[in-house]
Amino acid sequence: MPIPDIVVLDTCVLISSVLRGVLLRLADKSCFQPAWSEVIGDEWRRNVARVWEVEPALIQAEWAALQHAYPAADQGDISGFKDGLIHSDPKDWHVVAAARAALAKQAGARVAVVTRNLKDFRRSELRRLGIELMDPDQLLVRCWMQHRSDLEAILEQVIGERAATGRSPEPLHEMLKRERLFRLNKICDASV
């Protein structure tokens, strides 16, 4: 299966510092283009403030840095792209709308929504719109198949960075299990 050209990263994916770091580094390697919306950014800032318990100014600065690093990711006003959505959870229409906006900007591109909350999206509705639905593990397995050396280097880099911040050293398989990347973990174990 090919890697989508554009990947809409749902809030639940962006909130994990490990997943965010791995996925955005893959984007830096031109594996795919990341996409999101201001609504996803608002959700991210609100949830990160609650989970990380840090100053709002630091969270805002982090989001501004993401916007600066990936200027094409923000899909702008997506409200009109919610029209006609019926079957997916209305609370997640903004995610589908971001994918539709990305598809409208780049007709013919392969676009996917990457989320941990697959149950909130109706696969048939997205398929009808030309949008794929996958979880982070599925995307990373595809990236492994096509960009293995890049992904291996990125995973090692993330482990090293976590250790450099004072966290106790964590083997790759433990980090992947904690991040619920079970298929990727299985592939990594088999390749050793």
DSSP states along 68-108:
HH-TTTB----GGGGTT--SS-GGGHHHHHHHHHHHHHSTT
**pTM for this entry:** 0.93
135, two tokens: 């979880």
pLDDT along the chain (192 residues), means of 10: 96 94 96 96 91 86 96 94 88 95 95 96 94 97 96 92 76 92 91 66
Tens of pLDDT, residue by residue over 54-92, are 888 899 999 999 999 999 999 999 999 999 888 888 899
φ/ψ of residue 143, rounded to 5: -65, -40
Does the 6-136 domain belong in CATH 1.20.1050.10?
no
Q: Domain coordinates of the chain in residue numbers?
A: 6-136, 140-191
180, two tokens: 């619920």
The DSSP secondary-structure symbol of 48 reads: H
Q: Chain-wide mean pLDDT for the chain? A: 92
Overall residue count recorded for the chain in this entry: 192
Tens of pLDDT, residue by residue over 34-46, are 999 999 999 999 9
23 and 70 Cβ atoms separated by less than 8 Å: no
pLDDT for the residue numbered 77: 92
